[in-house]
């Protein structure tokens, strides 16, 4: 109970000092406020940014997906018989469980789509019935390509959200709707839901400007060949670590395709995965810089607290002498000033955390307006780190002033004016 009373007495003393020297107190705690607030703010915005990048990603670069694409063979193999990467390779991979599920093939064809006199530049994709799951996209209306479309090479298509709005008027009823692309009429059977982007721009590579057609129809009508550009294999989850699974799957895919391609390696696996690794490295570097910035702010705040505590010790020298004369020990005096330093820094950390949370909320709203949907995240570890690190910093930098106060001679302190 005595400890509890001492704490509240000390808190009242600190708040009294705040009221007496408002500007000085705020300037003293500014480093703590910035340090604790920056941890909460930057961690929340980084988490929201990472989630927004994943949600708005228009391509396949997920860690559990292996990409196989066509490539020139090495010079030593260029004189040998070549077999192109084709849909039979995708079927062979899909039928063998050694790697995972080869879900889709990708073809790209940039053309104008016409509805009457209206036209729009689009990207035509030839894909399998598994493309929705592979690309993590959803349907807005209608249906997607099915196995019957692939088997019978139906001339049907599923259009992106922007294509649907601009060329088809955004009408839910797709009966009788069609597009003319490359001299071929495609019946519209479905609409892909809007897939947002952080920054919209020109070009046809985003999903809102794509038109998906059956891969087999694309091969027969457009390419006149079974050759494919890319095959994606999603590695099936298991108890084994994903890194080990991916290494085994790549080795299996390479061995299977080398056997089918007569020993000629005219394909490459995961050539573009470095982009995902680079993104992860960038986020790691930003996190390290964030922590360094917070640590520097806390260091500056600690110096300010040491300075204000030294001033406080000087101002309260006579009070210290009276307490010593009444029986307070050096340990009591040191504990008093350490508690005061901890409370000062803790109040600064609390103010910083509250300010950081509020700023995350406001910044997320602003980023949603400017860049598209951006969710606010409040990381528990960041809140705990902000509060604990600021309090610990106050105690560490308050040790010397507290020690100095405890070492004052009682007689000399009573004579101090």
What is the span of the domain harbouring residue 174? 65-271
- Predicted confidence at residue 1, as pLDDT, reads 47
- Residues 154, 135, single domain; the answer is yes
- Residues 88, 11, single domain; the answer is no
Domain's final residue, options 204, 237, 271: 271
Domain count of the chain? Answer: 2
Domain's final residue, options 271, 300, 327: 271
Q: What is the mean pLDDT of each run of 10 residues along the chain (417 residues)?
A: 65 69 76 86 83 65 76 81 80 69 62 90 86 82 92 93 91 90 92 75 76 88 79 72 77 87 85 56 74 80 83 80 81 82 86 92 85 81 88 88 82 67
Beta strands in 79-237 (DSSP E): 100-115, 118-127, 139-142, 156-159, 178-181, 184-192, 210-214, 230-235
Largest Cα separation within the chain, whole Å, is: 104
- Predicted confidence at residue 57, as pLDDT, reads 63
- Residues 46, 98, single domain; the answer is no
d(CA 356, CA 379): 11
- Residues 90, 151, single domain; the answer is yes
- Residues 241, 126, single domain; the answer is yes
- Residues 93, 31, single domain; the answer is no
Q: Any idea how long the chain is?
A: 417
d(CA 150, CA 115): 24
- Residues 281, 267, single domain; the answer is no
- Residues 99, 160, single domain; the answer is yes
- Residues 42, 113, single domain; the answer is no
Q: Is 2 exposed, middle or buried (0-12, 13-18, 19+ CB in 10 A)?
A: exposed
- Residues 71, 52, single domain; the answer is no
- Residues 44, 78, single domain; the answer is no
- Residues 99, 233, single domain; the answer is yes
Domain's final residue, options 254, 271, 288: 271
- Predicted confidence at residue 404, as pLDDT, reads 86
Residue 351 tokens read as 């103010």
- Predicted confidence at residue 359, as pLDDT, reads 92
């Amino acid at each position: 109970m005595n400890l509890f009373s001492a704490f509240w007495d000390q808190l009242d003393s600190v708040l009294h000092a705040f009221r007496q020297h408002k500007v000085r107190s705020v300037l003293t705690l500014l480093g703590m406020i910035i340090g604790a607030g920056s941890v909460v703010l930057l961690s929340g915005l980084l988490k929201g940014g990472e989630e927004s990048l994943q949600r708005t990603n228009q391509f396949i670069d997920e860690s559990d997906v292996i990409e196989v694409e066509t490539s020139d063979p090495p010079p030593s193999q260029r004189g040998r018989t070549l077999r192109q990467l084709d849909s039979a390779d995708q079927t062979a991979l899909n039928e063998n469980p050694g790697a995972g599920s080869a879900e889709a093939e990708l073809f790209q064809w940039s053309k104008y789509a016409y509805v009457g006199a209206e036209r729009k530049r689009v990207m035509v994709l030839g894909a399998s019935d598994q493309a929705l799951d592979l690309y993590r996209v959803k349907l807005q209306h209608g249906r997607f390509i099915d196995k019957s479309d692939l088997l019978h090479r139906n001339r049907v298509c599923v259009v992106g959200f922007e294509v649907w709005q601009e060329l088809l008027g955004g009408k839910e009823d797709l009966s009788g709707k069609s597009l003319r692309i490359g001299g071929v009429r495609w019946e519209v059977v479905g609409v892909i839901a809007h897939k947002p982007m952080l920054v919209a721009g020109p070009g046809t590579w985003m999903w809102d400007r794509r038109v998906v057609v059956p891969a087999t129809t694309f091969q027969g009508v457009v390419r006149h060949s079974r050759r494919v550009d890319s095959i994606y294999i999603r590695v099936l989850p298991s108890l084994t670590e994903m890194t080990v699974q991916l290494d085994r799957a790549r080795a299996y895919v390479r061995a299977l395709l080398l056997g089918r391609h007569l020993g000629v390696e005219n394909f490459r696996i995961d050539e573009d995965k470095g982009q995902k690794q680079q993104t992860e490295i960038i986020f790691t570097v930003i996190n390290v810089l964030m922590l360094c910035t917070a640590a520097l702010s806390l260091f500056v705040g600690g110096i300010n607290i040491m300075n204000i505590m030294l001033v406080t010790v000087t101002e309260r020298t006579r009070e210290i002498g009276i307490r010593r004369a009444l029986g307070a020990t050096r340990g009591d005096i040191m504990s008093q000033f350490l508690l005061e330093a901890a409370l000062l820094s803790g109040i600064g950390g609390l103010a910083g955390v509250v300010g950081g949370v509020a700023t995350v909320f406001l910044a997320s709203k602003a980023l949603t307006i400017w860049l598209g949907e951006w969710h606010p995240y409040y990381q528990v570890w960041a809140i705990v780190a902000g509060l604990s690190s600021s309090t610990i910093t106050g105690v560490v930098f308050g040790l010397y002033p507290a020690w100095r106060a405890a070492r004052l001679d009682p007689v000399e302190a009573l004579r101090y004016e």
